[in-house]
Amino acid sequence: MSVTKTPAWQALADHAAAARGRGFDTLFAADAARVTACRISVDGLRLAYAFQNVDAQTVGLLTALAAQQKVADWRAHMFAGGRINATENRAVLHTALRQRGDAPVLVDGVDIIPEMRAVQKRMAAFVDDVRSGQWRGATGKPMRHIVNIGIGGSDLGPRMAALALRPFVTGVDVHFVANVDAFDLNNVLDKIDAAQTLFVVASKTFTTQETLLNARSARQWLVEKLGEGAVKKHFVAVSVNAGEVEKFGIHADNMFPMWGWVGGRYSLWSAVGLSLALAIGNAHFRALLDGAAAMDDHFRTAPLEANMPVMMAMLGIWNRNFLGMPALAVLPYCERLRELPRYLQQLEMESNGKSVTRAGAPVQCDTTPALFGECGTVGQHSFHQWLHQGTTPVAADFIGVARDDLGKPEHHRALMSNMAAQMAALAFGQKRPAAPHDNYPGGRASSLILVDDLTPRALGMLLALYEHKVFVQGVVWDINSFDQPGVELGKRLAKGLESGSLAEGSGMEKTVLAGFYDAFLSGTA
């Protein structure tokens, strides 16, 4: 049965009809303790949702929906190694990569922890060797540039975290290449010294078209400068495909494996985080994992009504499915979190941008909203006009850092003041009937996510919070959050065009595409 036909969904639909007409002035007037009541804290990370259009009854109904859809059972199934990624017949165990102890985690009866710990130990030793200068390049010089070549989860996570943790980066410069547009690679190659550069090629299959094209071009650049023998000292791989890695010229000892139970957009915690670990060092990388583990523990044990990821997920469902908001703005008031909206676009929209249930039936409700965002205060001078006075209300996540003055407290006061003012203006608006152009409707929902300090541990908690939020929403919508078939068709068609042999799709589709490419896009017509 579709979730939309269930009693808990219908109760929320009835409740939403009355909730749409109430304003935040009414909600705050009805509950003097609303600010303190509408919040959840976990170890220095706080979620405040007083500016969401919910009251105690709404929260109770949302919790009932999560319970009805068996969120707790699916959560236990995931942590236990169940094959919840049914279309790919895989377990989903990125959480195991950051668990603190060595309690067994079984996949098909085999404990995955010993092998995982062995890889982590190898990775830590390699990081120490590079950062200490023991690992030297073909000319005997230590590595001072780390170039991560990947795409999707093999790029967005490490790239985002390297910027977020920039004060913790020491000893090396870290660069990222993802786009097959040659400008991306050339822009990095122009900045680095071949003799002191280590390339990390991150591709689970080592067949990812974009990554391999960039990697081969980087290899050719290195060989032209240092010779063929330099490849083994200047390239390492993160992959499961030892054969393709060795064909490339990377020795098996310099390949750090991943596993099928780690999805790309959940892979920062694995060897995909190697470039980040090289930049910030093992201790800080471990702190990142520990922060995520702390959020895992909270998610596993807290009751649904006091569970931060569950609450975030259900507020999102309330806004999307019952209040009709088609988008979510993620607004970090911290320049170091500038890449976070891009990272979350993949996490949320690739995970839950689905229109088919686990059973293969059409979904009967809207799934993930469009996600976009920009740093405050920059975004205030671009799309915030639309947030405040546009015809389509959308929800917003404001993300702030309580203690982050970076030696300039006046800047931080201005930043936090702007964030608080934006939330209040969105919620309460401004009524000036005599000046319609200066009329703000208000009623725009937002949450605040606040960390005390932007440390590796705090970042780990924040990222795990969003991961589990996505999982809960997938469970409620009855979709598989861990596959991504929608990204494959275009890639196969592109490969056919590139090779001159289109084999994918119907005859008409191939004919039209080939003609369009020849006439408009090839650059030769």
Query: Domain with 24 in it: what CATH number?
Result: 3.40.50.10490
Structural domain range at position 497 = 485-521
Element (H, E) at 251: none
- CA-to-CA distance for 126 and 277, rounded, in angstroms? 10
Last residue of a domain, one of 259, 285, 311: 285
Residue 334 has pLDDT above 60, yes or no: yes
Task: Kindly state whether residues 110 and 210 are assigned to the same domain.
Answer: yes
Between these two residues, 255 and 504, which has the higher pLDDT value?
A: 255
Block residue for tokens 């929320």: 12
Residue 81 pLDDT more than 80?
yes
Q: Is the pLDDT of residue 23 over 80?
A: yes
Please tell me the least confidently modeled range out of 84-93, 114-123, 323-332, 427-436.
Answer: 427-436
Residue 433 is predicted with a pLDDT of 84
Regarding whether 14 and 137 lie in a shared domain, the answer is no
Which among 252, 285, 318 is the end of a domain? Answer: 285
Q: Are 329 and 398 in contact (CB under 8 A)?
A: no
CA 304 to chain centre: 23
Rounded to whole angstroms, how far apart are CA atoms 93 and 186? Answer: 36
Whether residue 173 has pLDDT greater than 70? yes
**Based on the domain organization, do 37 and 103 belong to the same domain?**
no
pLDDT averaged over the chain? 94
Is 318 found in the same domain as 334? yes
Domain shared by 470 and 353, yes or no: yes
Q: Calculate what percentage of the chain has a pLDDT beyond 90.
A: 88
Only one residue has tokens 């054969």, namely 243
Per-residue confidence (pLDDT) for residue 525, from 0 to 100: 52
Q: Let me know if residue 293 belongs to a domain.
A: no
Rounded distance between C-alpha atoms, residue 39 and residue 448, angstroms: 9
Closest of 280, 298, 266 to residue 336, by C-alpha: 280
Integer-rounded Cα radius of gyration of the chain: 24
Of the candidates 421, 417, 427, which has an alpha carbon nearest to the alpha carbon of residue 38? 427
473, 179 contact by CB (below 8 A): no
Same domain, 176 and 215: yes
Quickly count: other Cβ atoms within 10 Å of residue 318's Cβ: 25
Taking only the tens place, the pLDDT of each residue in 471-497 is 999 999 999 999 998 887 777 777 776
In-domain check, residue 77: no
The strand pairing partners of 331, in sequence order, are: 398
Statement: residue 53 has pLDDT above 90: yes
Q: What is the count of structural domains for the chain?
A: 3
Q: Is 173 part of a structural domain of the chain?
A: yes
> Do 7 and 149 belong to one domain?
no
Give the torsion through C-alpha atoms of 198, 202, 205, 210, to 10 deg. Answer: -100
Which structure tokens are listed for 108? 């098909």
* Residue 45 placed within a domain: yes
Checking if the pLDDT of 405 tops 90, the result is no
Residue 385 placed within a domain:
yes
Q: Are 411 and 497 contained in the same domain?
A: no
Mean pLDDT computed over 316-325 = 98
**Domain shared by 249 and 388, yes or no:** no
Write out pLDDT tens, residues 245-254: 999 999 989 9
- Among the candidates 260, 285, 310, a domain finishes at 285
Give a yes or no: residue 145 inside a domain. Answer: yes
473 & 498 share domain = no
H/E/C letters for each residue in 365-377?
Answer: CCCCCEEEECCCC
Asked if residue 74 is part of any domain, the answer here is: no
Q: Are the beta carbons of 317 and 210 closer than 8 angstroms?
A: no
User: What are the catalytic residues?
Assistant: 350, 381, 491
Give the residue-averaged pLDDT of 421-439.
92
Q: In this predicted structure, what is the pLDDT of residue 501?
A: 65
pLDDT band at 504; cut points 50, 70, 90? low
Residues 151 and 269 in one domain: yes
Residue 506 above 60 pLDDT? no
By the 8 A CB rule, do 98 and 269 touch? yes
What the block records as the tokens of 355 is 């229109």
Is 292 a member of any domain? no
Residue 237's H or E segment, with its range, is strand 235-238
Residues 134 and 42 in one domain: no
- At 157 the pLDDT is 98
Work out the pLDDT band at 508, boundaries 50, 70, 90.
Answer: low
Question: How many angstroms separate the CA atoms of 360 and 87, rounded?
Answer: 10
**Average pLDDT for 211-230:** 98
